[in-house]
Structure 1
Amino acid sequence: MSLAAVETPQHHFPSSRKSKSKTNTKAKKQSSRDQQLYNIFSDIQTLYTSSKLSQTVTKHITSTFTKSTTTPIKTLLSLGLGSPTTPSKNQSRILKQLAIFLAISTSLEAGGHSVQLYAQDPIFTRADESFLSSLGISISRTTRGSELGEAVSLIDSSTVVYSPFLTLEAYEALLLHGAAGEKVRYLIGDDFEKLMAKWPKFSEERKQVTRLVKGAVGAYRRRALGGDGFWEEDDVAFPMALYERGDAGMVKAKM
């Protein structure tokens, strides 16, 4: 057998170099997309800081979670955030919700609370989890948007739940049925007064919100969180409120 017969065909080498080139190009494109996302998010954080909404939220966070009058807050848990890295018509709104979440954490830390951050949404992708982890946020898991999943073990009197656009089914599990026997003490999310007005009078969704208001929300003190300079029409802004349940569990909500 000749020497030429056992040599590796030369055309294999260009193919290998081409494959490496494609891999490097893909990695560069991914890195560029990641950097673009961080830049966009940084701009959103700057916009939030300068908005009237930020002033209102900070004011109520500061007054509600003063170190001398409340149980130390140890956990800030986001439920139903959405996918911050997936390009969609809702991506800007999701990133803005995330900016508020991190700003709340900053306010709590400034008030003397040492807070661990968690986020849970069944639609999180690996890219979402990587992005959130880079921001200091740990991932909690659930398989369905209507179920609390691992979040159950995170909720107690030292937890603040942040829940923009949470499904009504998840709100029922959170507020009506409780989490592992614990009642949510602090909730920052949809303003149920505005949420009720969103649905037609005889719709199933209106009935669900009514059950929530009559069965759970009435036991909370409500502080509306509003302000200009942040939400735009395309964001589909959501009216927010901070709900606080007293030690006795019956602090009348201002509905």
Structure 2
Amino acid sequence: TIISSDKDLMQLVGDTVGMYDPMKDRQIGIPEVIEKWGVPPEKMIDMQALTGDSVDNVPGVPGIGPKTAAQLLEQFGDLDGLLARAGEIKQEKRRESIIANADKARISRQLVTLKNDVPVAEGLDDFVLHAPDGPKLIGFLKTMEFTSLTRRVAEATGTEAGDVQAVAVTVERADNAHGPDVGAGTPPVARNGAATEPGQAAEAETETPKKGDTPSLLAALRLEGAATAKIDTSAYQCIRDIATLKAWVAEAREAGIAAF
């Protein structure tokens, strides 16, 4: 069972694979996919190739929505059949749009097709859901100052939250992190006293968080850094042309301090 309602995953639904929508508390199987989109799961790829998805930058074919796509796939079988026989479409605008955007439809099909042959080192047993470690989870939640969630987890796991102290966590320890608080966080400390790297499990000691280890302390640290930072306005440069702008963008990307 796939825990999601994302239409991008509906192509995986079949006799042995289903989906569960946690927001609506409903199962999604083959009948539900057909009811929602007008096509079975095995045609969802072609459906999305035609309709596109602006959120995921999938172009699709302009003017083709889900209902029209479902009608076309029912008439022509699949995307390849549709593109091969596009001249048979009676509606002029629809016909011209599909013929003119055939390459976009093919590219869109590649973009929405999920890879199902990715090597996975873990076995199915490794993904079995285990009961949460109450004290460990509560220690982290306290550090993150999730008061309500801490209380709920304590009740669900039968843990006395008052007996668990906040634990130290890592804050912005990436090599390319930027800002006045870089390195301010304290990495988790294992019981043998050795610091652990991000991604490694550690049985954290009940240690009082240090400056910058909690959201509120981190915010205060950033505010302090911003207030005391000196800005050299004489180094400002007014960008008046595209060439200069591109040069600045290239420099920012090279420095790793900008994303587009």
Q: TM-score surpassing 0.5?
A: no
Greater Rg, structure 1 or structure 2?
2
Q: Which has the higher strand share?
A: 1
User: Taking structure 2 as the reference length, what is the TM-score of the superposition?
Assistant: 0.21
